[in-house]
Amino acid sequence: MPGFELFGELERAQVNDVLDNGVLMRYGFDGMRKGHWKSKELEAELQESFKTNHVQLVSSGTAAVSVALASAGVGAGDEVIMPVFTFVASFEAIMMLGAIPVLVDIDDTLAVDPKAVEAAITPKTKAVMVVQMCGSMGDMNAIQAVCDRYNLLLVEDACQAIGGSYHGKPLGSIGDLGCFSFDFVKTITCGEGGAVITNNKEYYIHADHYSDHGHDHIGNDRGAETHPFLGYNFRISELHAAVGLAQIKRLHEFLGIQKKNYTIIRNTLSQIPEVTFRTVPEGGEESYAFLNFFLPDLKKARKVSEMFKQHGVDACFHYYDNNWHYIRKWDHLTNLKSLFPISSEVKKGLDYLKTKEFAQSDSYIARNISCLIKLSWTEEEVKERAIKMVKIINEIL
């Protein structure tokens, strides 16, 4: 997945272009910048690539999720439904707004189960946030239908799935708002950065103002701008956008390499009847950022994960035992460890986490191994790796 693996002259030229003109801020300084607008250029590229009307770059993927929710009016006391399998950023972004994350089970797509989403809806539910984990998606038509039926906002965290699609639509462009991350380990990197995409003009204007202190961005005199509402600073810098601009031009190349490497490993692992793969819904096309497969049980998955590490099969994760991506290890959330006081409403809203079990998700995550697909491998390396993986798995089965 990581764009940083293939990194060089193009990125350097873009960054030097910014340094040579001296304006590192994305807004204003019109006279000084001599027509250099890297952030605007990257927004235009993303708009084109993701077939969306509006793009707002921000400082990170986590900021993108918060800004997306805020732009659609999600705030204090609102409930946002999200999966138990994601990155910790998902609930951070919700809680930053004083809203309540309502965690629900995933299914064999490794994304939220539409039935679990529907069962979690209360009068306080405002939004459903799907996470397109490890480059693939859930049953988006079913999830969209639930959102339509209950008049809920659909937000897509597509931070790990840039380049994937569903019935021809790019992941991120299906819901009311979509979020991307361009941190250092994502398919396209800016170093740090993120984007909110939407077809809703009002949400876009909100995102534009909110991510820059509420400034209205009208006219050329920044000091004369007014503030229709309160905002924060989630701006991206021109230096970061410059890196992203070089990378986005290579997205197709990166995706092609990912798919090729993924396919070699998958075809090789397919020789083992006990190995099954995550379900990709009909009409779905993965970004091929990860290859996710299931082993028969937890014990075998643990053993395989251990042996992969011992034998140098790097970048494979057993998320059941991983501290970052699955609820089982999110003690700081379930026991609510905060640096500062949290509202009693949010505290009460999170009480369910102390007792709720997620047996259905456990049954998938316990058996799942997720292998990052790297861009820098040679064909020889991919083939050797695949053969090594088969050997290890066969030994353990």
Ligand X SMILES: *Cc1c(COP(=O)(O)O)cnc(C)c1O
Binding site for ligand X (CB under 6 A): 60-62, 86-87, 89-90, 131, 157, 159-160, 181, 183, 194
Quickly list DSSP for 126-155.
Answer: EEEEEE-GGG----HHHHHHHHHHHT-EEE
Q: How far is the CB of 311 from ligand X (least distance, A)?
A: 27
Rounded CA gap, 164 and 133, in Å? 11
Non-local (6+) Cβ contacts of 205 within 8 A are none
| Residue 180: CA count within 13 A, CB half-sphere | 31
Q: How far is the CB of 149 from ligand X (least distance, A)?
A: 26
Instruction: Please say which residue, 59 or 385, places its beta carbon nearer to ligand X.
Output: 59
- In the bound state, the residue with its beta carbon closest to ligand X is 61
Q: How far is CA 19 from CA 1, 16, 281, in A?
A: 28, 5, 45
Rounded CA gap, 24 and 43, in Å? 16
Q: Tokens in use for 250?
A: 């290579």
Q: How far is the CB of 310 from ligand X (least distance, A)?
A: 27
Q: How far is the CB of 62 from ligand X (least distance, A)?
A: 3
Instruction: Please say which residue, 69 or 386, places its beta carbon nearer to ligand X.
Output: 69
Q: How far is the CB of 225 from ligand X (least distance, A)?
A: 27
Enumerate the β-bridge partners of residue 326.
Answer: 85
Q: Tokens in use for 23?
A: 């304006």
Instruction: Please say which residue, 129 or 392, places its beta carbon nearer to ligand X.
Output: 129
CB 270 within 8 A of CB 103: no
Report which of 382, 366, 360, 384 is spatially closest to residue 305, judged by C-alpha positions. 366
Instruction: Please say which residue, 18 or 89, places its beta carbon nearer to ligand X.
Output: 89
Non-local (6+) Cβ contacts of 339 within 8 A are none
The residue written with tokens 């998902």 in the block is 90
Q: How far is the CB of 171 from ligand X (least distance, A)?
A: 12
Instruction: Please say which residue, 275 or 364, places its beta carbon nearer to ligand X.
Output: 364
Nearest 5°: phi and psi at 129? Answer: -110, 110
As annotated, the active-site residues are: 186
Instruction: Please say which residue, 89 or 389, places its beta carbon nearer to ligand X.
Output: 89
Length of the chain: 397
